[in-house]
Structure 1
Amino acid sequence: MGRPSVVVLIEDDADIRNLLTGMLVQAGYLVHAAATGSGGIDLVSDAGPDLVILDLGLPDLDGLEVLSRIRPITASPILILSGRTGSTAQLTALSLGADGYVTKPFRPKDLLARISAVMTRPRIGDTHS
């Protein structure tokens, strides 16, 4: 059995961050969490995650800005978790390199299924075969 998959979670809401961290740890992931965009960028750079979960509503940087900064430093899937329900935010996030978009509120089982789906897709340049 290999190492657990590493998830960087960038979410400013402490309740959601704690819920997701617990849920992901229970599912077998190693989680590094940040409450700010700048902290999340640093974690992505340092942790080499297998998945990034990114909230768009962050206190210091807009989540789309964070996305545009982390996409060049990781080929890992990036899943957006946001309260923004308009198609403009979703289309912008996807055009900036997000691999999926989940709106709040969400059901934890649905989010885990989405995580599993993006984690099992083959990626260009993936060396984990």
Structure 2
Amino acid sequence: MLLGISLAKLGLYSFSISGEAIMANSILVIEDDADIQQLLSEYLAGFGYTVHSEGSPEKGLSAFKSLSPDLIILDVMLPGMNGFEVCRRIRQDSQVPVIMLTARGDVMDRVAGLEIGADDYLPKPFEPRELVARIQSILRRSQQSSTHETVNFGELYIDFDARAALIKGKDIGLTTNEFNALAVLARNPGKTFNRDDLIQELRGLESDSYNRSIDITMSRIRQKLGDDPKLPRYIKTVWGTGYVFIGYGKDD
């Protein structure tokens, strides 16, 4: 876990916004360690974010419903109810971006978080500036505005402005990260993206040396699209390379 009880001990005494204009987004931190709560609140406030912290799963879920934050930072190891269950309950009502903190950096913790709909993960101990970079990347993509851009691929309708994907007129409920991944592919039909390219597109960061996050994200998108990997209509796996959007539908 993160050590120390002061910003200086964490190396948080020298940071700058580097001229980047940051909107006053609200962030909910659900973390039972009071020191980490305080440190994250102070550090993130320095980057223009409004931060609310809760130390228990129940209070965190209550705050989520009352505050409607723009992003949630969620610890896995919480008392009484773990972060996976908290994330699962959040996903029943919302697609708000969720970054999970894993105490051990266990690969299976990361996989479990992504499989239930987390947008990103960060193992402890972590570099706070990397957390900010991930927050900025996720929020930037979730708030991008454009002219009203839509596209149809048979039964699949994608509204890039509303950030929604619909099958037969029904929203399939993609998370922020899932929609971003689908958007990258759907905007470039026929182009093969390898995993590192997709991670760079989604996070704006270099990939981990062992990273299954893209495969998990694609699996979840396919499930929601009702797409069979063996007979794909939308997303095809290019073995040994990555993924390509083929955009086949019944009406094509």
- The alignment's TM-score, normalised by the length of structure 1, stands at 0.90
Show the counterpart of 1:66: 86
- 1:100 is displaced (CA, Å) by 0.3
Return 5+ residue gaps in structure 2 as ranges: 1-20, 144-162, 165-175, 177-252
- 1:113 is displaced (CA, Å) by 0.6
Is it true that 1:23 corresponds to 2:43 in the alignment? yes
> What SS does structure 2 have at the residue aligned with 1:121?
helix
Residue 27 of structure 2 contacts residue 72 of structure 2 at CA under 8 Å; is this kept in 1?
yes
* More deviation, 23-32/47-56: 23-32
> What SS does structure 1 have at the residue aligned with 2:112?
helix
Is it true that 1:14 corresponds to 2:19 in the alignment? no
Once the two structures are superposed, what CA deviation does each residue of 1:22-44 show, in whole Å capped at 9, x if it has no partner? 11111111111100111111111
Question: 2:51, 2:74 → 1: CA distance?
Answer: 13
> What SS does structure 2 have at the residue aligned with 1:33?
strand
Of 110, 113, 122, 2:130 maps to 110
Question: 1:117, 1:70 → 2: CA distance?
Answer: 21
Residue 11 of structure 1 contacts residue 35 of structure 1 at CA under 8 Å; is this kept in 2?
yes
Query: Within 5 A, what are the aligned runs for 1:1-129?
Result: 4-122=24-142, 124-125=163-164
The alignment of Structure 1 onto Structure 2 pairs a total of residues equal to: 126
- Higher relative CO (CA 8 A, sep ≥ 6), structure 1 or 2? 1
- 1:60 is displaced (CA, Å) by 2.0
Residue 105 of structure 2 contacts residue 122 of structure 2 at CA under 8 Å; is this kept in 1?
no
Residue 48 of structure 1 contacts residue 74 of structure 1 at CA under 8 Å; is this kept in 2?
no
- The alignment's TM-score, normalised by the length of structure 2, stands at 0.47
- 1:122 is displaced (CA, Å) by 3.3
Q: Which amino acid aligns with 1:31?
A: V
Q: Which amino acid aligns with 2:75?
A: D
Q: Which amino acid aligns with 2:102?
A: S
Question: 2:81, 2:53 → 1: CA distance?
Answer: 16
Q: Which amino acid aligns with 1:36?
A: S
> What SS does structure 2 have at the residue aligned with 1:9?
strand
